[in-house]
Chains A and B, each alone.
Chain A
Amino acid sequence: MTTLDFFHDETFRDDFTYWNSPEAIRRFPFPFNEDKYMYSVNLEPHVAFKPGSVFEKSFDVDEHYVSEMRDRALVLQEDPLRCQSLPHMNMAGWDLLELIMTKKAAEYPQWFELHQDGDRWRWVNRPLDIDHTFTFLDNTTLPYGPMEYIMRQTQGDYAILDQRDNNLWMDAGMITTQADWSLDFDLGMNFMEWHGPVPLAHEMGIFDRALKFLLNVRQGQPARRLNWTMTVNPRLDTSPERYAKWGTDRMDVNADNVGQLMHLRVELQSFWRLPRSNALVFPIRCYLISLQDLATIPKWGRRFHRVIRDLPDELADYKGLTITRPYVIEYMSQFDDGAPTSPGIFADDE
């Protein structure tokens, strides 16, 4: 897939023309490795794994790339506070720009090129029709700050966490595809503060263990995990700031349309130590799939039914299933014949 025809022309709002190709469905990061779900510190090294999967590249670029970047630009136009960087995080922004440019140029040479001549860098991004020469570490040579510049060309939300006083601080980020949390609200908070609203997990000691792990993430040894929630419509921008625009969507769900409207929203989260700033960057890459597309993979249809049916109530609320859960269970039950499922997250027959 080297041509630019690979990229869809689609929307994540209003008429919602977003769609997944059969290839995108097969490579969807289904997050359940067994027929039930509970929190866990499900971290693993972020190393290349399974060709064609979303785990193959450092920063996955898929068929939704160009349209996602258009949606991000629309969000920023309406609400510039979705992208913020405290003054001391400028170097971390350059770190991130360097990391993404070098990885993408090496892993997707058909789409991206980086030519470095000392501090003079030329960056070519073919899908977005960008060919730009700038001076590394000189903000005046970019149209935006370094983080915003590269984030307008990168799928997924990115939080950049400053590390100090044995804690992580959310001091910069580009957050336009979030599952109902706000950068503007969390900016400047530490790890325990911004995770305050999560139910059950504090009592389980999940965050103490996770913070300890994250403080020790090393350069050259990134880690990853999957997280999930549910969203009505393939809407990327489900932010508290725009709750008035999407909060009532769930009222539209009924027994007839649940398969088209309800989407499983999976976040591929990874964790990278940045070299110059020593900050930790936390990409949160969002993948959306409708229940009817999900059910085309028999193993996922069976398992998803069982997971949602048996989910504790507190988690169902937190995962965006208030009101809609009975429809989801009823709809998914038609794909669950009671047969056993194989271990692991991947589709069978491969």
Chain B
Amino acid sequence: MITKSADKTPKIEVEVTHIQQVSDIIKRFTFTPVDGAPLPVFGGGAHIVVEMSDGDIIRRNPYSLVSKPGTTDNYQISVRRDDVGRGGSLYMHNTLKVGDHLLVSHPVNLFHIDRRARKHLLIAGGIGITPFLAMMAELEDEVANFELHLSARTDGAFLDELRGLYGSKGSFYRDDHNEVIPLNDLLTGQPLGTHLYVCGPNGMLEWVLRTAEDAGWPSQNVHYERFLAPATGLPYEVNLATSGITVRVGGHQSMLEAIEAAGVDAPYLCRGGACGQCETRVVSYDGELLHNDHFLTEEEHASGTKIMPCVSRFQGRELVLER
């Protein structure tokens, strides 16, 4: 059952045609277009926004496409189950079945390959491997020079598959064996023209970005993808000045989701605090803006004039947005 929503971006209706248990907490889903028409082409690093009708809540979560770029008869995503998150991954893991229909967005790429690079150094932590799966297929096709360093909790199906596909181009580090990526050596021993790509949990991302900066890497050669899951918190109300309505944001709901649920069309791309598309002007507030994004500068956060409703929250008496 597909629920209509205020979101006006073009969507593609797909059927879940395959679900594969990749590890104890990761499932890979295959989506096939319902109308049989070819799906839009995507490049490595692209994501789609998957729209889930979970009871009376519409969830929209971004997931990296993990299938081979150029594939147009299906899309594949990998989802890690997050038992303490807001519920999107639990819905994907526990409720979604083969044969169900979903709406997905056209691909959006905020983490594409920089083809100026003479070498591509890919560093991933855990489920952060997902954008690299499609990227590596593309780099392999283009006979590009690349190497992958993946740190994961333990061994598993993903690692076996990657060893088989990329052999010596991949190095794997198991947390349960206390293996750590030799980051300093890696980042100080690369040929000129190398580009660095990082995706993983926040702590790891900060570690890699800081180490790269300390080692003198130019920021133009450093690419990263940081999708934040929207934070949870206390419920609150938002007054939308342009629309003339007041919206209640639930504890496990993002401000953007609440605005959409009220029938107000709001722009977005990444839904993870990174791209800037949903930036909204704060008209006035009495309380505290809980900024969680990585798009606005510290000064902008402190100014109290802008907010990214995809990940940020509010606590206090009144918040008025220009929306």
A: residues with CB less than 8 A from B are 87-91, 98, 137, 164-165, 216, 218-221, 275-278
* Interface presence of B88 (CB below 8 A): no
B43 touches A276 (CB 8 A): yes
Are B116's CB and A277's CB within 8 A?
no
Instruction: List chain B residues, Cβ under 8 A from A89.
Output: 115
The 7 closest A-B CB pairs, nearest first, are A88-B115, A278-B112, A220-B106, A276-B43, A275-B41, A88-B116, A278-B109
Please give me the residue from chain A that is nearest to B44 by CB atom. A276
What is the total number of residues of chain B having a CB less than 8 Å from a CB of chain A? Answer: 25
Bound: A278/B142 CA distance, A = 16
| Nearest-Cβ distance from residue A103 to partner chain B, whole angstroms | 13
- Contact across chains for A275 and B115 when beta carbons are under 8 A apart: no
Tell me, in angstroms, the Cα distance from A216 to B110 when the chains sit together: 10
Closest to B269 in A: A216
In-complex Cβ contact of B40 among A90, A91, A220 (8 A): A220
Q: Is the CB of A275 within 8 A of B40?
A: yes
Contact yes or no, A165 B277, CB < 8 A: no
Complex contact B269–A278 (CB within 8 A): no
Q: Which residues of A contact B70 (CB under 8 A)?
A: 276
Interface residues of B in 120-168 (CB under 8 A from A): 138, 141-142
A residues less than 8 Å from B275 (CB atoms): 216
Answer whether A275 and B107 are a contact pair too, CB < 8 Å, given A98-B41, A164-B114, A164-B220: yes
B43 touches A221 (CB 8 A): no
Residue interface bits B177-196, CB-to-A below 8 A is 1, else 0 = 00000000000000000000
Q: Provide the bound-state CA to CA distance between A42 and B106, in Å.
A: 25
Q: Using Cβ atoms and an 8 Å threshold, which residues of chain B touch A216?
A: 269, 275, 277
List which B29-64 residues lie within 8 A (CB) of chain A.
40-43, 46
Q: List 11 A-B pairs, Cβ < 8 Å.
A: A91-B115, A98-B41, A137-B141, A219-B106, A221-B9, A275-B40, A275-B109, A276-B43, A276-B69, A276-B70, A278-B43
How far, in Å, is B78 (CB) from chain A's closest CB? Answer: 20
B116: A residues at CB distance < 8 A: 88
Residues of B within 8 A of A87 (CB): 115
State which of A98, A218, A277 has its C-beta within 8 Å of the C-beta of B115: A277
Across the interface, A277 reaches (CB within 8 A) one of B43, B106, B220, namely B43
Query: What is the interface of chain B mostly: helix, strand, loop, or mixed?
Result: loop
A198 to chain B, nearest CB (A): 25
A120 shortest CB reach to chain B, Å: 14
For residue B26, CB closer than 8 A to chain A, the reply is no
CA distance A183 to B220 in the complex (A): 24
**What secondary structure prevails in chain A residues at the interface with B?**
loop
| Contact yes or no, B106 A218, CB < 8 A | yes
A220 touches B220 (CB 8 A): no
- Measured CA separation A87–B144 after assembly (Å): 13
Q: Which chain B positions have C-beta within 8 A of A88?
A: 114-116
Which residues of the other chain, B, contact A90 by a CB distance below 8 angstroms?
115
Nearest CB of chain A from residue B136's CB, rounded to whole Å: 14
- Residues of chain B contacted by A276 (CB below 8 angstroms): 41-43, 69-70, 138
Q: In the complex the two chains form, what is the Cα distance from A90 to B116 in whole Å?
A: 11
Q: Across the two chains, which residue of chain A brings its CB closest to B142?
A: A91
B10 on interface, CB distance cutoff 8 Å: yes
Complex-state Cα separation, A160 to B46, whole angstroms? 20
Residue on B with the closest CB to A220?
B106
Write the nearest CB–CB distance from A208 to chain B, whole angstroms. Answer: 13
Residues of A within 8 A of B106 (CB): 218-221
A165 and B220 contact, CB distance less than 8 A: yes
Partner of A219, one of B40, B141, B142, B220: B40
B108 at the interface (CB under 8 A from A): yes
A275 touches B43 (CB 8 A): yes
> What residues on A are CB-neighbors of B46 within 8 Å?
275
Distance in angstroms between the alpha carbons of A21 and B69 in the assembled complex:
45
In the complex, A91→B43 CA distance in Å? 10
Chain B, 269-289, contact with A by CB distance < 8 Å: what is the 0/1 string? 100000101000000000000
Q: How far is the CB of B73 from chain A (nearest CB, A)?
A: 12
- State whether A218 touches B43 (Cβ < 8 A): no
CB neighbours of B40 from chain A (8 A): 219-220, 275
The residue among B10, B109, B219 with the most chain A CB atoms within 10 A of its own CB is: B109
**Given A98-B41, A137-B141, A276-B41, are A219 and B108 also a contact pair (CB < 8 Å)?**
yes
Distance of A210 from chain B, by nearest CB (Å)? 16
11 further contact pairs, Cβ within 8 A, besides A276-B138, A278-B43: A87-B115, A89-B115, A98-B41, A216-B269, A218-B106, A218-B269, A219-B106, A220-B10, A221-B10, A276-B42, A277-B112
Q: What is the CB-to-nearest-CB distance from A327 to chain B, in angstroms, rounded to a whole number?
A: 47
Q: How far is the CA of A275 from the CA of B45 in the complex (A)?
A: 11
B91-127: which residues lie under 8 A (CB-CB) from chain A?
A: 106-109, 112, 114-116
Cβ–Cβ < 8 Å partners of A165 in chain B: 219-220
CA distance A277 to B112 in the complex (A): 7
**Which residues of chain B come closer than 8 Å to A91, judged between CB atoms?**
115, 142
CA–CA, A8 and B78, complex, Å: 54
List B contacts of A98 (CB < 8 A): 41
Closest chain-A Cβ to B9's Cβ sits at a distance in Å of 7
Measured CB to CB, the nearest residue on chain A to B116 is A88
Distance in Å: Cβ of B14 to nearest Cβ of chain A:
15
Chain A residues within 8 Å of B107, by CB: 219, 275
